Amino acid sequence: MATERADAARNRRAILAATERLLAEHPPAEVSMERVAAASGVAKGTVFHRFGNRAGLMLALMVERAHSLEEAVRTGPPPIGEGAPGRDRLLAFMDAMVDVVSRNKGLVAELSRSGVTLPSSEEYHASQANPHAVYEFWHGHISALIRAETPAVDAETFAHIVLGALHSSPILGRLTAESPERLKTALRAMITAQLDAK
């Protein structure tokens, strides 16, 4: 049983690494399950069994890429981690979130187009029971920090607006055409205005 778990983990790493390499070289729409299987050296049936469908594979890769940011929030040093004022943590988190989206803009766009549904594989369903876990964590963290700093602001709605903007085609297009610094500056200005609202 332990050997099977090790094999499954090794296959998962190989599949995600191959997907990442392919996405660096091709538009997401050209990265098929068959192509991933060939690039990873894993049987096509294993790829489908592990991730259920193409949306499930893309979601798993996005979760993998976003996990390090969540870990930084939970256990990392300030200002993203605990120990810094809420305002500083929020602005640092927003900068880091823009960096994640900027590095993965094609993947984010593909997930938005696909609608992201639960994959059919029971194994993947068990390990990633909530397909919106990344969004919910980001939304909850932003909301909590805003609420703590400025209780008068509708923190939940404002967090949805910020995250919705990061998934919009114009913003993803801008991140493709230029540095993420312009978006970071705009978000910082918008967030600061909300935090200073009376």
Statement: the pTM of the whole predicted model exceeds 0.95 = no
Whether residue 121 has pLDDT greater than 50: no
Torsion angle, alpha carbons of 77, 101, 160, 144, to 10: 0
| The residue type at 56 | G
What pLDDT is recorded for position 122?
39
Q: Where in the chain is the domain with CATH 1.10.357.10?
A: 54-195
What pLDDT is recorded for position 89?
96
Identify the weakest region by mean pLDDT among 7-11, 145-149, 187-191.
7-11
pLDDT in tens, 12-25: 999 999 998 898 78
What whole-number distance in Å separates Cα of residue 169 and Cα of residue 86? 30
Highest CATH level, class, for 1-51: mainly alpha
Q: Over pLDDT 90: what percentage of the chain?
A: 41
Q: What is the DSSP letter of 104?
A: T
Question: 115 — alpha (psi -120 to 50), left (phi > 0) or beta?
Answer: left
Whether residue 117 has pLDDT greater than 70: no
pLDDT in tens, 133-179: 778 888 999 999 999 999 988 999 999 999 888 878 888 888 878 88
Looking at domain 54-195, which CATH architecture does it have? Answer: Orthogonal Bundle (1.10)
